[in-house]
């Protein structure tokens, strides 16, 4: 099975320092929805792995998170694509959970649910913790410069072998050429 793991905020949709707290605040980055559709057309399953500490902080509830993800699913479908699953960590940043990236828990759950070894699986994110979570399970880290990506690149310390792209569309172009 061909699988790609995507972060949500800053990769698929615009990020906000104040969190995406409602469906109205969820706005796709130009080209991202079509990029997901291209992955699907090439036979990839697309999974989202996202930290959503706004739930743990009480900024929004699970119904709101589900409504945000509903809007994302509908937007991707309107572009001809599909997101096969969304895995999220609802815990606050100071929690001791294993699912908050950079810890590998979300990725381990993805591997278990899809019954796949994630070694070599492309994982596209905009922050160092996205890349570190991918590396922790043997995945292939890809950084996009949207969202927090430019700052992440400027801060350095990227995992060895990290590929860098202007946005999700460019990262998908690379994956499709390479596969």
Residue ranges covered by each domain of the chain:
11-118+132-140+158-178
- Rounded mean pLDDT of the chain? 97
Closest CA to 123 of 111, 131, 112, 113: 131
pLDDT at 97 over 90: yes
CA distance 71 to 113: 23
What pLDDT does residue 179 have? 76
Which residue has 């990029």 as its token pair? 35
> Model confidence at 41, in pLDDT bands (50, 70, 90)?
very high
Query: Any alpha helices (H) in the chain, and if so which ranges?
Result: 32-41, 53-56, 62-78, 105-114, 128-136, 149-155, 168-178
CA distance 125 to 130: 5
**Active-site amino acid positions:** 7, 9
- In this prediction, residues 26-48 reach a mean pLDDT of 98
Rounded to 5, what percent of the chain is helix, strand, coil? Answer: 40, 20, 40
Q: pTM above the 0.95 mark?
A: yes
Tokens in use for 139?
């995945």
Residues 37/79, Cβ–Cβ less than 8 Å: yes
**CATH numeric code, 11-118+132-140+158-178:** 3.40.50.1000
Residues 146/127, Cβ–Cβ less than 8 Å: no
Name every residue whose Cβ is closer than 8 Å to that of residue 127 and which is 6 or more positions away in sequence: 7, 10, 101, 147, 148, 149, 152
Q: What angle do CA 50, 176, 35 make, to 5 degrees?
A: 50
CA 97 to chain centre: 19
> Model confidence at 93, in pLDDT bands (50, 70, 90)?
confident
Q: What angle do CA 32, 33, 38 make, to 5 degrees?
A: 95
> Model confidence at 178, in pLDDT bands (50, 70, 90)?
confident
What pLDDT does residue 80 have? 98
Query: Tens digit of pLDDT for each residue in 71-92?
Result: 999 999 999 999 999 999 999 9
> What SS3 state is found at 140?
strand
pLDDT at 67 over 90: yes
């Amino acid at each position: 099975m061909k699988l790609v793991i995507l972060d949500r905020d800053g990769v698929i949709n615009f990020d906000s320092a104040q969190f995406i707290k409602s469906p109205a605040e969820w706005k796709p980055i130009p080209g991202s929805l079509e990029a997901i559709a291209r992955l699907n057309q090439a036979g990839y399953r697309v999974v989202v792995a996202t930290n959503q500490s706004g739930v743990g902080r009480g900024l929004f509830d699970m119904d709101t998170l589900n409504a945000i993800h509903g809007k994302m699913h509908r937007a991707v479908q309107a572009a001809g694509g599909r997101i096969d699953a969304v895995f999220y960590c609802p815990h606050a940043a100071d929690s001791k959970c294993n699912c908050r990236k950079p810890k590998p828990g979300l990725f381990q759950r993805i591997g278990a649910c899809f019954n796949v070894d994630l070694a070599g699986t492309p994982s596209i994110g905009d922050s160092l913790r996205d890349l570190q979570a991918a590396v922790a399970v043997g995945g292939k880290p890809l950084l996009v410069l949207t969202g927090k990506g430019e700052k992440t690149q400027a801060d350095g310390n990227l995992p060895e072998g990290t590929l860098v792209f202007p946005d999700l569309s460019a990262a998908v172009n690379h994956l499709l050429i390479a596969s």
